[in-house]
Amino acid sequence: MSKTIKLNIEGKDELELPVLEGTLGNDVVDIRTFTKGSGMFTFDPGFVSTASCESKITFIDGEKGQLYYRGYPIEQLAENSDYLEVCYLLIYGELPTKEEKAKFEKTVSRHTMVHEQLTWFFRGFRRDAHPMAMMVGVVGALAAFYQDSLDISNPEHRKVAIYRLISKIPTIAAMCYRYSNGLPFNFPRNDLSYTANFMHMMFATPCEDYEPNPVLVKALDRIFILHADHEQNASTSTVRLAGSSGANPFACIAAGIASLWGPAHGGANEAVLKMLAEIGDVSNVASFMEGVKERKYRLMGFGHRVYRNMDPRASIMRETCYEVLKELGLEDDPRFKLAMELEKIALNDPYFVERKLYPNVDFYSGIVLSALDIPVSMFTVIFALARTVGWISHWHEMISDPNQKIGRPRQLYTGPTRRDFVDVNKR
Ligand code: CMC
């Protein structure tokens, strides 16, 4: 028999609400008839207890520290797969066959170039603009360049828009970096893997050959895999909300990028590196930690809304972090030693232990990206690049759902009650 819950409204009327069961994770109370039956709204700022949609893409159990993409544990994907294969999995729901994988890789690599006019669009920005400011603008502008893939009711348009976004995002991300450093843009190289091509577009110069280091390519590919999706976080929910009105996919992804920019979300790995620079030296760690405990500021790269145990992505990234530092001979670099000291102290300090605050993926990904010579201002851009597939998979899932409705939350109004207008001379 299907489960229900009964609500007693002011001791009189009883309202019976169905309980829906997922394949994994918490059941949810279906409150769609609640307002009609009670005359009230529910109140849940920050969506702490609210499932905003049904989804088949990603599952997280924060208590157990589990993260699955389409049912596959993140550890297995990080170990055995590559980013483009994970993209296919997120979009289509299944791992590709050998032939499907080869076809997908070919199609993505054939869409890596951007419209030439887009390069002129960049020149309108100041050279010192934050790369995220450029990214949000340029991705939003894609709708002006690719007008033949904007009809969201047409499955072919949706498919082409998805390919275009996944293929062009690395090109645009690298262009943001090159422009802010006064460097010429590099054309993509379709003979390289997705991630090696990104490194080529970032770091190659016209003056000499550039061969991406395979250890570093693998590390960056892992960062991409680990950041590819994370169910209904702030930016994904933003993409869904923007898309629920029928907005085109390029505009929706630009909305996701805007949401990701905040320091409590995608800006965290940038904030980690800024924090390390502020602390400066291992000798300052103890006094810095006192400030954290006095709640003057937070220890960036620690804590997570969902994970109340070690973030599984953080464990993988920690391993990758050591591999990269070893490959580059940076084990004794003072900044990395400082990060490791912070990690050690926080993992043993009762303030963090009692609150179940563990290092999150951004603590380590910030260190890895910095070791790869990627400037701090580019960190959130890299996150946005990797998360684009998650955003677009959720957007696609939502648009394909026949029960999809425009997102329209309610509110608890606490402003002034009705009052009459007073002429400006009488106020
Ligand atoms: N440093 C110090 N104290 C913290 C921290 C931190 N990083 N995070 C949480 N706390 C404390 C907080 O003060 C509170 O203490 P008390 O119970 O005494 O009031 C307790 O831990 C619970 O915190 P909360 O703010 O209720 O937790 P939340 O779920 O609302 O916040 C968070 C989650 C990620 C915003 C927060 O942990 C934070 O600000 N972390 C630093 C920023 C960061 O690293 N963000 C990246 C998140 S992972 C990337 C992603 O998925 O987007």
- Amino acid identity of residue 139, one-letter, is V
For ligand 1, is residue 200 a contact (CB within 6 Å)? Answer: no
Which backbone phi and psi does 9 adopt, to 5 degrees? Answer: -95, 110
Q: How far is the CA of 54 from the centre of ligand 1 (A)?
A: 26
- pLDDT of 85 reads 98
Beta-carbon contacts of residue 64 (< 8 Å; ≥ 6 apart) = 309
Active site residues: 265, 304, 362
Query: In ligand 1, which atom is closest to the CA atom of 46?
Result: 30
Helix axes 361-371, 334-348, angle to 10 degrees: 170
Query: In ligand 1, which atom is closest to the CA atom of 266?
Result: 52
Residue owning the nearest CA to atom 50 of ligand 1: 265
Asked if residues 228 and 86 have their Cβ atoms less than 8 Å apart, the reply is yes
Distances (CA, A) of 354 to 62, 66, 314, 358, 391: 16, 21, 19, 10, 34
- pLDDT of 346 reads 85
How far out from the chain centre does Cα 131 lie? Answer: 16
Q: How far apart are CA 101 and CA 107, in angstroms?
A: 10
If one residue of 231, 265, 302 were mutated to test the ligand 1 pocket, choosing by the most ligand atoms within 8 A of its CB, it would be 302
- pLDDT of 311 reads 87
Q: How far is the CA of 302 from the centre of ligand 1 (A)?
A: 7
Q: How far apart are CA 30 and CA 15, in angstroms?
A: 12
Q: How far apart are CA 16 and CA 5, in angstroms?
A: 6
Sheet holding 66-69, edge to edge: 58-61, 66-69, 72-73
For ligand 1, is residue 300 a contact (CB within 6 Å)? Answer: yes
Distances (CA, A) of 295 to 196, 291, 298, 308, 338: 42, 6, 7, 20, 21
For ligand 1, is residue 298 a contact (CB within 6 Å)? Answer: yes
- pLDDT of 10 reads 77
Query: In ligand 1, which atom is closest to the CA atom of 363?
Result: 44
Retrieve residue 75's tokens.
Answer: 């550890």
For ligand 1, is residue 357 a contact (CB within 6 Å)? Answer: yes
Asked if residues 187 and 135 have their Cβ atoms less than 8 Å apart, the reply is no
Q: Give the residue among 109, 263, 91 at the shortest CA–CA distance from 162.
A: 91
**SS3 string of 326-344?**
HHCCCCCCHHHHHHHHHHH
Residue owning the nearest CA to atom 28 of ligand 1: 305
Burial of 302 (0-12, 13-18, 19+ CB in 10 A): buried
- pLDDT of 331 reads 84
Asked if residues 172 and 194 have their Cβ atoms less than 8 Å apart, the reply is no
Residue owning the nearest CA to atom 24 of ligand 1: 305
Q: How far is the CA of 304 from the centre of ligand 1 (A)?
A: 6
- pLDDT of 369 reads 93
| Local structure of residue 231 (DSSP, 8 states) | S
Helices then strands, counting H and E runs in the chain, come out as: 18, 6
- pLDDT of 340 reads 85
Q: What is the dihedral of CA 256, 258, 262, 265, to 10 degrees?
A: 10
Series of mean pLDDT values for 10-residue runs along the chain (427 residues): 86 87 96 91 94 96 93 97 98 98 96 93 93 96 92 92 97 97 94 97 93 95 97 97 96 97 83 90 90 92 85 91 92 84 88 90 89 93 97 96 91 97 97
Query: In ligand 1, which atom is closest to the CA atom of 301?
Result: 44
Which residues pair with residue 5 across a beta bridge? 17
- pLDDT of 264 reads 80
Helix axes 131-145, 379-400, angle to 10 degrees: 40
- pLDDT of 13 reads 73
For ligand 1, is residue 355 a contact (CB within 6 Å)? Answer: yes
